[in-house]
Amino acid sequence: MHSGAARFRRLRWASVIGALGVVIAGAGLLGAAQDFFLPTMLEVQRGMLDEMAEAQRQRAQSPQEEPDGGEDKPFFLAPETVEALGKFTDLPTWYPTWAYTTGTARLAISTLYLCASILLLTFHIAGIRLLITAAGAAIVWNVVRCVVASSAGTVAALMTFPHAVMGSIFHVVLIGFVVRGARTIEPADVETTASADRDTPVVVGSIG
């Protein structure tokens, strides 16, 4: 077993997966920011829908007056539309805490992905292990998200399922590619940083 400080020769699969990991980490960081702001966004949307519903009630109770020819008719959403949008934003009281938890988890997993990708791009053995750990953590977290979404039972929460399932499949495939690529690394391809120049790429046959 090679130490985490060991480096391997330049391999195309490591460069590709390392670059892909950086993209995944960036998307995850953006998703984490969205999770942190989501409760506030939903609260604002909920307030707007409440105002619409109140306007609908006042309009139904007041006499119907035709606007003058030069005036535009006021715009109102259909009651069914307002009700449907209300169900979309009607979330459990514990959801804001859950959103902050989700954002924190995404932030941690994305940080792992970013560190693993940088290590892979610099051809460190530790990057392989760390990337598999990050992908495994993402799979576990997607399972947790599905369980919580099923308990919430709202439209917005249930939309988590397809994203979580597809994400888990992607991470499983990614782990498969990383494991397959790691098996192509021969002992002669590996050199520890203690015996190699950090600025010089390790090449096959450079050891022994």
Residues 22-77 pLDDT 10s: 999 999 999 899 888 877 777 776 666 666 666 666 666 665 555 555 455 545 55
pLDDT of residue 208: 34
Indicate left, alpha or beta for 71 from its phi (over 0: left) and psi (-120 to 50: alpha). beta
The H-assigned helical ranges of the chain are: 12-61, 79-89, 95-121, 125-152, 155-158, 160-182
Q: What pTM was computed for the model?
A: 0.68
pLDDT of residue 155: 61
Q: Which are the contacts of 127, defined by CB distance < 8 A and separation ≥ 6?
A: 14, 18, 116, 117, 118, 119, 120, 121
Decide if 14 contacts 202 (C-beta within 8 A): no
User: Whats the size of the chain, residue-wise?
Assistant: 208
pLDDT of residue 197: 45
**Among candidate residues 175, 189, 180, the one with its CA nearest the CA of residue 130:** 175
Helices 79-89, 12-61: crossing angle, 10 deg rounding: 130
pLDDT of residue 49: 65
At CA 26, angle to CA 20 and CA 27, rounded to 5?
90
pLDDT of residue 44: 73
pLDDT of residue 41: 75
Q: Which are the contacts of 106, defined by CB distance < 8 A and separation ≥ 6?
A: 28, 29, 31, 32, 35, 141
Structure tokens at 29: 């960081």
Please state, in angstroms and rounded to a whole number, the distance separating the CA atoms of residues 52 and 84.
Answer: 13
Give 7's DSSP letter.
E
Decide if 25 contacts 114 (C-beta within 8 A): yes
Please state, in angstroms and rounded to a whole number, the distance separating the CA atoms of residues 70 and 83.
Answer: 32
Decide if 168 contacts 136 (C-beta within 8 A): no
* Rg from Cα positions in the chain: 26
Collect the ranges in the chain with pLDDT lower than 50.
1, 4, 70, 74, 194-208
